[in-house]
Structure 1
């Protein structure tokens, strides 16, 4: 900074401020320009996307077999076309795209023979006024190697001598081959003209701000710093001994005013110095007698002053050692008497105060010792209580788990009893059906007995007819022998039928008796099942009551468990607080001990001696 000391303040401050402002404006302009460039680039990309979206939508509408896939952000992702027309007789479709977007658009078609893309329809106009239809993309450009890979090209390109911000979107066949390109472009001149206009606007504004700010800073620097040269001249005059000069700007409240006031003080002191020198010269002309009287008075004053200082120093030394019984009993000279009285009063008040403080500190020490012991006991009891609560909480957790398990088992038993009761009801229905079946069997047996009686009668009549036939055959002689044999067979058959009917009747009779016994047993079984059903229903009710009580116990134990856990947490917190309080009480007891030791170094009236100050300092270091 020594380099600035060679120049005057106002030009230096003005030039420095202008340089700093210029740097700031250049930095801000550069940041704004960079931001604008980014925004313009983003705007160019947005315009490209808009033009491409519009062109793809119109092509999909007007060209048959065209499908456009859209990405999540609404832009074109893929264009699939069955085939690109070999020739567009009407270019109204591409002109519609140009009117909607205000930019250029082109559809290219791939030519396998030339291995290049050719413009089939476009709204780009050649310098001669014709459309640029039938011109090729060109393999040497930056677009060709990108689109032949099936990728989208985005960047700057020069088309017929005009620069554009372009996007080339490949057109694919349904088989996935690249058969063409949909192009959308934004003229670079329009965007660059906007950027240049904004850059010039920023530059002109920054230049105007710099010029205005420089003039304003020059005026402010001159207004603020102009008093400094004037004060410099005043200080130079004062340094040269010219005390007649006036000090300006003393009424200002800033640093310049402070500097002016300091110069005024220096001027006043210089004037006083001149007056003192004049007075000293006048005093030098006094007589030796007056000088001797003054020297004698001064010597007496010095002697009284030395005595006062000596006694006061000795008393202060004792006071520094902690002896508050010291007093200045011998009167001082009139000029120093008030000092002695004030010293005695101060020591008296200090002694009384320290006496009261000593008594209070002793009481405080005793109380803190008792509180330290009490808080230690409370901490131990709280720890025991916390441990007990923790064990209780653990036991309650186990009991709650056991009761909850029992409740689940009771619910399962209730469900099993319900199923048993349902099975019993179903069994009662089965037994009732069995009783009805037995009754029907018994009725059927009675009907069978009747049928057997009829069969028995038929056998008897058949036997009687066979007997009559045998008698008639015997009367017939030889002619009736065959008929007699048949009659004999019929009689034997009738006999066997009668015997079989008797056997069946006996079996039916016996079966009926068994069926009757079965009906009785089934009825007894039904009655037993009825009793079992009633017992199961009663058991089910008792088990439901047990399950309900177990659930209520589980709910109650859960509440108790939560309360005990909360008590455990609170007890743990209380234990932590008690530990903190115990630590505080220990520190308080130590502080009270140190306070008592500090007060004990003073000797006051009515109390015994205390350790000397240096002894107490040694004791403090040891503690």
Structure 2
């Protein structure tokens, strides 16, 4: 059975606690006894002093009464049996503190005697007024006898209190001695147990911990070649065994890890651990296994990649050679393209010049057509004015016709009147006929003029319509000329832009030619680099071949 340090320390501390508790209990009990003895002694001393005082007071009281009876002096004593010192003690609250039943019994015995003493004073004084001899006899046989009895009882109380004081003094001395002895014993036992506890701790804890600390220092320095020599079945012994086991396990793990890493350094990536790790070291074992597996897979992938790089570099070299040859052919084609573009550029320049000349001529034709259009507008306005004047002439002819009609009517009326006048009116009839003839001619002339004006208006209307049609045709011609002019300008502008674009194309082709030449040189360099890369891939495959990889 293992005995732990905690159990040993707790047992010794428990012994100290038990001793201290027992000492405390005994000390408290002794102190209580001392207190009780002190209180009892104090109470007995007070009662003894009170008894002596009461005896003295009642002796004086009785002498005062005797002097008053025998000599006729004034009695100054009190007849109140509860007002004196003894009466206050007998009837007061202090009585409850008295535990001695003998004293309590004597106090009950004193009460009637004490009361009779004080009450007899008034009787003696009353008898003195009538019969002094009877008063003296009552005093001697009653009052003084009662005082003697009271004093005797008080003496008994005094004796009892003196015995109590002596007994309490003896008990107080005994309690003090007992308390001192127990306290000394307790201190001695506590000191011995404490010394044993310190010795136990030094032997079972401190010295083994020093050994463990020294060995732990070796462990912290990385030195695992140690063994803690502690033969104990407590916690420190278990700690020593654990440290020894941990050192052996660490040494075994380090040896295994060193072996695996050395094999890996030698190129053997298939090496695995030969022991089973425990606890948190399992993660280290897993990490080493993972490292070996990952490195093996990585090397395998590098080998595959090197093979692919070897094959790819050969393809790249062949492609670069083909690219260099194609670049040379492209350079030749670019030169041909430059020549063709030079020809196209010359044609575009010629087209641009022709378009510029055509634009200027079209602008001149447009201006002339605009002048014709303005003249046709003026002629249309003149035809309109002619048509307006013809209308006014029609109005005038209409007026002439009306005048001829009225003249004709007037001539007719004149002929009628000339016929009525007979021969006297013949001359007037001739005039009327001439006027009628003149009116008829005027009407014919107006009719002819009207017909001529109507023909003129019809011709003017046809001229106006033709003028409008001509004006519309000229307007269409102007618009068409403007469209042609704008298109010629667009063609001219496009020709100029084509000329500029051809210039930029020439620059771009020049850059393309430069790039093709650069690509050709780069292709040759790439071919050389690919061949070098293929050589390096072969070297890499040879290096990876030195490693022994894990089988999947």
TM-score, scaled to structure 1: 0.32
Greater fraction of residues in helix = 2
Greater fraction of residues in strand = 1
Which structure has the greater CA radius of gyration?
2
